[in-house]
A = this chain, B = another copy of it.
Amino acid sequence: MQSKQPTIYDVAKLAQVSPATVSRVLNQPSMVAPDKKARILSAIEILQFVPKADAVAFARQQFKKIGVVAPFFTETSFMERLKGIASVLTGQHYELVIYAVQSIEDLQGYIDMLIGSKRVDGLILLCLSLSDAMVTKLKNSGLPVCFVETDVQGFDSVVIKNIEGGSLVAEFLFANGYRIPGFVGEASRRPYAAHSTEERLGGYASYFASKGISLKMEHVWTGDNVAKASNAGIMKILDRPNRPDCLFASSDTLAIRILKCAVQLGITVPDELGVVGFDDIEMAEFVNLTTVNQSLEESGVLAAETILWRIKEPGKPPKKNTIELTLHQRNSTEIL
């Protein structure tokens, strides 16, 4: 129905000025005489002119776009972070482009493409672990990159103190009288995903070790966080004579599964079994789960701010942002 989008030339003609002047009122209005400015502005209004984003980007070699590449878990944690990222980017008039990686080839391909094709001004890599080759490529490209969850030498990052998180939980459980620790963790088989589970487990185990308590193999399960496998894993830990008296799960969703298994087995929480999760997702409140809060949304905000800062300050040394962890106590660990 519409004939054609107006260009800056149409505006120029209508306002009887040069295209350059139109461009100026768009970008440096103060450098244009008031009368002409008024004429141009009204011409813009009449024509309903909007600068074509791609042409601007192309001429200016700048894109106002940030790419977020992430293993596309349907997880709340991903969502919360994305929300944080979106809120700051939107405020700064940057576009947010999502690249969902579902395989190692995807990841490889995205990185290569993004480096070469000049699609984005910066990249946020969520929960991704890259091969050395790719890291080098990224580094050489000069593209601003911020890692979240992974900490890569020479790059900006937002990291979670996973080890401390593990020991924080262990300390808390120990203080509450629990003495037979168990662990359930989501150890993704995806080679490109970050591995925070191992770190949390490490911190957890070593705290108990410092108290002379060892985490028994048969009280640990790690694997894919899919219903069947994880439930089986949890059941195997709980449905035995020498079961642990507390269980730390690397995510809230897993912790909730534990809660459910406990009910099925007639094990009372927190008396017979203390349960602690990780993430503090909204659902944790519903089920009264004690969990570690890692300010997911804030980590998104930080990542976005960092990448924007990096774009402005290409020379500065890498900045490492650390997210503070807090234990949010609820009924799943309360001592009777």
Taking Cβ atoms with an 8 Å cutoff, the residues of A that contact B are: 1-2, 5, 48-55, 57-58, 63, 65, 72, 74, 76, 78-80, 82-83, 86-87, 90, 95-100, 102, 106, 112-113, 115-119, 139-142, 227, 253, 256-257, 259-260, 282-283, 285-287
Contact = CB atoms under 8 A, between A and B. Distances in A.
A74 B63 contact: no
- Give the number of copies in the complex: 2
A86 B72 contact: yes
Given A54-B57, A74-B80, A78-B79, 19 more contacts: A1-B139, A1-B142, A5-B116, A48-B116, A49-B116, A50-B113, A50-B115, A51-B117, A58-B58, A72-B83, A82-B98, A83-B100, A90-B100, A96-B97, A96-B99, A97-B97, A97-B98, A259-B286, A283-B283
26 contacts: A2-B140, A2-B141, A50-B115, A50-B117, A53-B118, A54-B63, A55-B58, A65-B97, A72-B83, A72-B86, A74-B76, A74-B79, A74-B83, A79-B79, A83-B100, A86-B98, A86-B100, A90-B106, A95-B119, A97-B98, A227-B285, A253-B282, A256-B283, A259-B286, A283-B283, A287-B287
Contacts of A259: 286
Contacts of A102: 87, 90
